[in-house]
Amino acid sequence: MAGQAFDGPLEPAGECRYRIPKSYKPGMRVDGLIYADEQLIEKIRADNAPEQVANVATLPGIQKASLAMPDIHWGYGFPIGGVAATDPAEGGVVSPGGVGYDINCGVRMVRSDLTLADVAPRIEQIVTTIFQTVPCGVGVGGREALATSEMRRLLREGAAYVVRRGRGWDEDLEYTEARGCLDGADPDAVSKRAQERGKKQVGSLGAGNHFLEVQVVDKVFDPKTAEAFGVAEGAVTFMIHCGSRGFGHQVCDDSLKTMRGAARKYGFDLPDQQLCCAPVESDEGRRYLGAMRAAANYAWANRQAVMVLVREAVGRVFGKPAERLGLRLVYDVAHNIAKIETHTVDGRQRPLCVHRKGATRAFPAGHPEVPEAYRGVGQPVLIPGDMGRYSFLLVGLPAAMDETFGSVCHGAGRAMSRTQARRTVRGEQVRSDLAAKGIVAISRSWKGLAEEYSGAYKDVARVVDVVERAGLARRVCRLRPLGVVKG
């Protein structure tokens, strides 16, 4: 359980790699493998998240290893920062705990032609206008409610549904993972309760760790790749972090009830009932995937709609349309999802069900799913940090495909629970501390600011350093926050 230290083996297994041998506990089918340095592994051990890495290694059909990124911390069933791929042909399973409640929570980065000199004098106006334009906060909905027929179309079409309604540009889809839509979404697998919750929340940010940030590129590490991505030192960017809102939460909650029964039905002996699962090819597995894909499409539609509102807000501040300001999408990537992808295992290409929970896809140069404009360099990898320090733009490397099913970290990773954070600092103090650093912060609640202060997170620079030293991804540039909006 969380709160107690892991007392099992963590064997050094190469540069920034630690192994939990499958001999550690009965039922492990593969080793566990955690990416971390000496400092991070001690924090990871104290959180007991390695126990969850070992538990995931017991899932039927799991391939290679149960993997964890350096931002790993305790989660529901799977650790947050966990990656696992199962082979349907070998009875491989899909587990809602391997995706989480906020299905397709993800990050979207928008570049601009604006510079720090353009934005600095207006940063408070920009942040305030975004806050007034983008609905945010607990339970806050979007600008309009969808009819049932529209909701079903959105669940099938994802971000394209929003673009076809004139909210965005066709090129936005090209620069979105999976073009913002997973095939096989099944609205009939989604409960009426979930659909009712979702109808009113498209185009809203939510709360918790979700945010909108105005950032400046303050350091470029890889000029060639930065140029391919359309960013340069001193340029202003916008980062959007949100997911499927109450819709995805309800889909997960509904699915867990079914999956608990499925685990018993198929006779799975699991060390933790939160790992409840079903074979990918079973009725229960197909139904979950149909509902999860619908929620993933909802999240892509939501981020598309939020991005359009950000473009509108920034355009109003500068009195110019988004096109003239160069507000173009760099990329949108999911980090809570299960996808059927083709990967090489034992020298043979196989379709696998890849669970990424708090982990980001990081495909290398040449991969056919990387947008054509980026195919010569690789997929953009967006790694947000905390609102008081910095975020990073990376690019995927071939080693990620070889070792981690094309996956890396998704952020800094929590070092302190939300309750601990609130006990440590007050929201008013967080806002004052950010202002002292020149960062304008606006939130719906002081509680939300306190929960997300910098001290509650690991240093994302150290997390990113680990994935780079491990050869999974390469830093392209660092992004420093200028202003932040939170629910």
For 383-439, what is each residue's pLDDT tens digit? 999 999 999 999 999 999 999 999 999 999 988 888 999 999 999 999 999 999 999
Q: CA-to-CA distance for 304 and 322, rounded, in angstroms?
A: 14
Q: CA-to-CA distance for 164 and 10, rounded, in angstroms?
A: 51
- Do residues 36 and 14 make contact, with C-beta atoms less than 8 angstroms apart? no
485: alpha, beta or left, given left = phi > 0 and alpha = psi -120 to 50? beta
- Do residues 304 and 165 make contact, with C-beta atoms less than 8 angstroms apart? no
Average pLDDT over residues 302-330: 98
| Structure tokens given for 379 | 């997929």
Q: CA-to-CA distance for 412 and 359, rounded, in angstroms?
A: 11
- Do residues 56 and 62 make contact, with C-beta atoms less than 8 angstroms apart? yes
- Do residues 335 and 358 make contact, with C-beta atoms less than 8 angstroms apart? yes
> pTM, whole model, 2 decimals?
0.97
- DSSP state for residue 425 in the 8-state scheme: -
The CA dihedral of 445, 447, 448, 453, to the nearest 10 degrees, is 130
For 250, how many CA atoms within 13 A lie in the half-sphere containing its CB? 16
Would you call 333 helix, strand, or coil by DSSP? strand
Mean pLDDT across the chain: 96
pLDDT at 137: 84
| Band of residue 140 on the pLDDT scale cut at 50, 70, 90 | confident
Question: Which are the catalytic amino acids?
Answer: 410
Average pLDDT over residues 40-48: 94
- Do residues 337 and 295 make contact, with C-beta atoms less than 8 angstroms apart? no
**391-396 and 473-486 strand pairing:** antiparallel
The kind and range of the H/E element at 391 are strand 391-396
Q: Which CATH number among 3.90.76.10, 1.20.1090.10, 3.90.1860.10, 3.40.50.720 corresponds to the domain 11-415+457-486? A: 3.90.1860.10
DSSP string, 263-282: HHHTT---S-GGG--EETTS
Q: Is the pLDDT of residue 208 over 90?
A: no
Average pLDDT over residues 313-328: 98
pLDDT at 182: 98
For 340-388, what is each residue's pLDDT tens digit? 999 999 999 999 999 999 999 999 999 999 999 999 999 999 999 999 9
For 441-453, what is each residue's pLDDT tens digit? 999 888 889 999 9
Q: CA-to-CA distance for 415 and 436, rounded, in angstroms?
A: 23
Domain boundaries, the chain: 11-415+457-486
pLDDT at 1: 62
Q: What are phi and psi of 282, to 5 degrees?
A: -85, 165
